[in-house]
Amino acid sequence: MFEPGSAEPKYSIVVPFHNEEESAAELYTQLADMMNGRYQPVEFVFVDDHSTDRTPEILGRIADSDPRVRAIRLKRNYGQTAALAAGFDLAHGEIIIAMDGDLQHDPADIPAMLDAMEATGCDLVSGWRKKRVDNFLLRRLPSRTANWMMAKLSGVNIHDFGTTFKVYRREIIKEIALYGELHRFIPALASWNGAKVIEVPIRNIERPQGKSHYGISRTTRVFFDLITIRFLLRYMTRPLHFFGPAGLGGMFLGGTILIWLLFDKILHGSHLFLKHGPMLLLGMILVVFGVQLLAIGLLGELMTRTYFDAHRQPVYRVESTLGSSQFTNAHR
């Protein structure tokens, strides 16, 4: 926490670390050199995601040598999203800069991102690794495919969702609840809250030491996250609109089959189990399936209502208030 009377930082730099003993000290040096002078006051929030190497010791020494640095260690390895969320919770700056701790992001790109934010008045500046240096088949091709799908499903037209290197206004990032692996979808979640998002090209530096924590195996997880984010963006406050059409369709189709079988039984005396056994089972299954989907949608509506009522949270965000003094006087 900051001392009473001390200046609140204008900039907060949030960096999650996991087994980055080779790069932690060098990254701090580069960041301090970049921020000293022009970008003040600044704080550094370093989050150790329960590293098993010397990373926590190195971060501890850095924090002891520089009062602007706060280093925390999580109780276990929660993952990058949770580490970023912890850093955002601790950050006090008006402008929050997030980046990886493995030296793949160049602090020299920070001025361009901050200048873009100031010039456009946007709420989030996302880095774009326009010229990537990693393997095409294992990294770039899956990444391009995933980014294309993210842009189409989220409606946010940017090229690079995956990079951690982003600049946020505090009020935007503080409103976003991060869990799972949703950090790559922050631009989409922020845009859903009304934020203006732009993209700035950044350098993509080949990891100088160690190895990447990510590979092609994460493609499946990204696909599941895409489904999650699509649901959150379009149906979070109206889940019945998601489950309802399929539920009604199943009930209608199943009901039609059962009615036809009933008429066949009445008019022709058919033995339904012998003549139409599979159709009878299909009709019953479709009706049950439809009822279950409608019930899930209704439960979702009730949970959504309970959440907003219990937390007293509106389903909207106010950008500004015009004529507030006249409004207040008129309603006294």
Q: Give the CA-trace dihedral at 263, 268, 274, 279, to 10 degrees.
A: -30
Paired residues of 124 in beta bridges? 168, 197
Q: Give the CA-trace dihedral at 34, 38, 41, 46, to 10 degrees.
A: -10
For the chain, helix, strand, coil in percent to 5 are 55, 10, 35
What pLDDT, in 10s, does the model give residues 11-64?
999 999 999 999 999 999 999 999 998 899 999 999 999 999 999 999 999 999
Higher pLDDT, residue 175 or 249: 249
**pLDDT greater than 80 at residue 76:** yes
pLDDT (0 to 100) of residue 44: 97
What pLDDT, in 10s, does the model give residues 251-285?
999 999 999 999 988 888 878 787 888 899 999 99
Q: Which helix (H) or strand (E) holds 45?
A: strand 42-48
State the Cα–Cα distance between residues 145 and 107, nearest whole angstrom: 28
CATH code that applies to domain 11-235: 3.90.550.10
pLDDT (0 to 100) of residue 16: 96
State the Cα–Cα distance between residues 31 and 129, nearest whole angstrom: 19
pLDDT (0 to 100) of residue 330: 45
**pLDDT greater than 70 at residue 196:** yes
The residue type of 326 is Q
Strand ranges, E, within 74-196: 95-98, 124-129, 166-169
Give burial (CB, 10 Å; 0-12/13-18/19+) of 25.
middle
**pLDDT greater than 50 at residue 327:** no
Domain boundaries, the chain: 11-235, 240-311
State the Cα–Cα distance between residues 29 and 17, nearest whole angstrom: 15
**pLDDT greater than 50 at residue 332:** no
pLDDT-derived band of residue 235, with 50, 70 and 90 as boundaries?
confident
In this structure, the chain runs to a length of: 332
Average pLDDT, the chain: 84
User: Residue 105's closest CA among 166, 29, 50?
Assistant: 166
Cβ pair 107, 23 in contact under 8 A: no
**pLDDT greater than 70 at residue 186:** yes
Higher pLDDT, residue 306 or 252: 252
pLDDT (0 to 100) of residue 204: 79
pLDDT (0 to 100) of residue 209: 58
Higher pLDDT, residue 314 or 36: 36
Task: Say how far residue 274 (Cα) sits from the centre of its chain.
Answer: 54
Higher pLDDT, residue 68 or 185: 68
Comparing 9-23, 161-175, 184-198, the range with the smallest average pLDDT is: 184-198
DSSP string, 231-245: HHHHHTT-THHHHHH
